[in-house]
Amino acid sequence: MSHDSSHEVAVLVDEGSNPFEMGVATELFGLRRPELDRPWYGFTLCAAEPSVRMHLGMFTLSGVAGLDAVEAADTVIVPNRPDPESPARDSVLRAIRAAAARGARLVSFCTGAFTLAQAGVLDGRRATTHWKWAGLFSELYPKVLLEPDVLFVDDGDVLTAAGSAAALDLGLHLINRDHGAEIANAVSRRLVFAGHRDGGQRQFVERPLPPVPDTSLAPVLEWARERLDRPLTVADLATRAAASQATLHRRFRAELGTTPLAWLTTERIALACRLIERGEQRLDLVARASGFGTAANLRAQLRRATGLTPTAYRARFSTAS
């Protein structure tokens, strides 16, 4: 349990929960980040009982907080359900409904979406869950607008991640929302984890072992990142990869779960955000450096990606301010 921030995170673990999702939440929100030189999250593990036996009896958590921790939380995370068909405890559902009623941010990892859905807080909302359980989820909760083939869904104050690895993606997305791209990048580097997988990417990505020599997209991606200020096209990437555009599209889908154009746009947005956060005031310079060309195009792209204008983004995340 840690409390040195005004934003409190409560992680609601249950009997049989997978330690990985709980570990993701602890790593991202519970560990101190003195290298960031800013207050981090307050963090509490809580459960309906003070002792919780984890998945397959690997270990037992003891001394965890009670459900009253949910009452004080700004963000409530439900890691996963060991058996999605088994109903959640009534006390857990009441705590989730109360948190939703007072405006807390609700987050689920993997099958934790079943708990949120059973509490009724996903009705009419966009959500996702692990692809293995998507059919059952739709059958049990037809009022939820399930998106079964994405990594995570951000529906404002309710966010859901597909599977275990996608919990990392969603967690970094939350840090990005709360603290900006520069801080999210710093945390992802600390984790040695790529911090730019967009929520709309596919859950299942084909990743065959590359032959020797390495024919992955990594050299092309690095080459493009060094040239984002230039008017790069998909044709340019294909030429660099010594492949046709159709082949390049297939490789991007197989390795990254996205398209070359969508990847380029995401990289440009990330670069623009970093420049704004570092205090660059001249939007025309940011637009040129990130490859968006004009300040008007930068405004449109940034609003589409973050929901904020450059001015609002700077006010919220600029380290200079």
- Average pLDDT per consecutive 10 residues, the chain (321 residues; last block may be shorter): 71 84 90 85 90 78 89 92 85 95 94 94 94 91 91 92 86 91 84 59 44 64 92 92 91 85 91 89 93 93 87 80 51
Angle, CA 121 vertex, CA 115 and CA 125 arms, to 5°: 110
CA 4 vs. chain centroid, Å, equals 23
Q: How many beta carbons lie within 10 A of that of residue 1, not counting itself?
A: 12
The reply to whether the predicted model has a pTM over 0.75 is no
* Cα–Cα distances in angstroms (integers) from residue 236 to residues 176, 185, 194, 245, 256, in the given order: 30, 27, 24, 9, 18
Q: Tell me, what's the pLDDT at 86? A: 84
User: Residue 10 pairs with which residues in a beta bridge?
Assistant: 44, 76
Identify the pLDDT of residue 228. Answer: 93
- State the pLDDT at residue 5: 61
DSSP annotation of 35: G
Q: What local confidence, expressed as pLDDT, does residue 206 receive?
A: 43
CA Rg value for the chain: 21
- Per-residue pLDDT, 213: 37
- E strands, 57-102, are 60-62, 75-78
Predicted pLDDT at 141: 95
pLDDT for residue 140 = 95
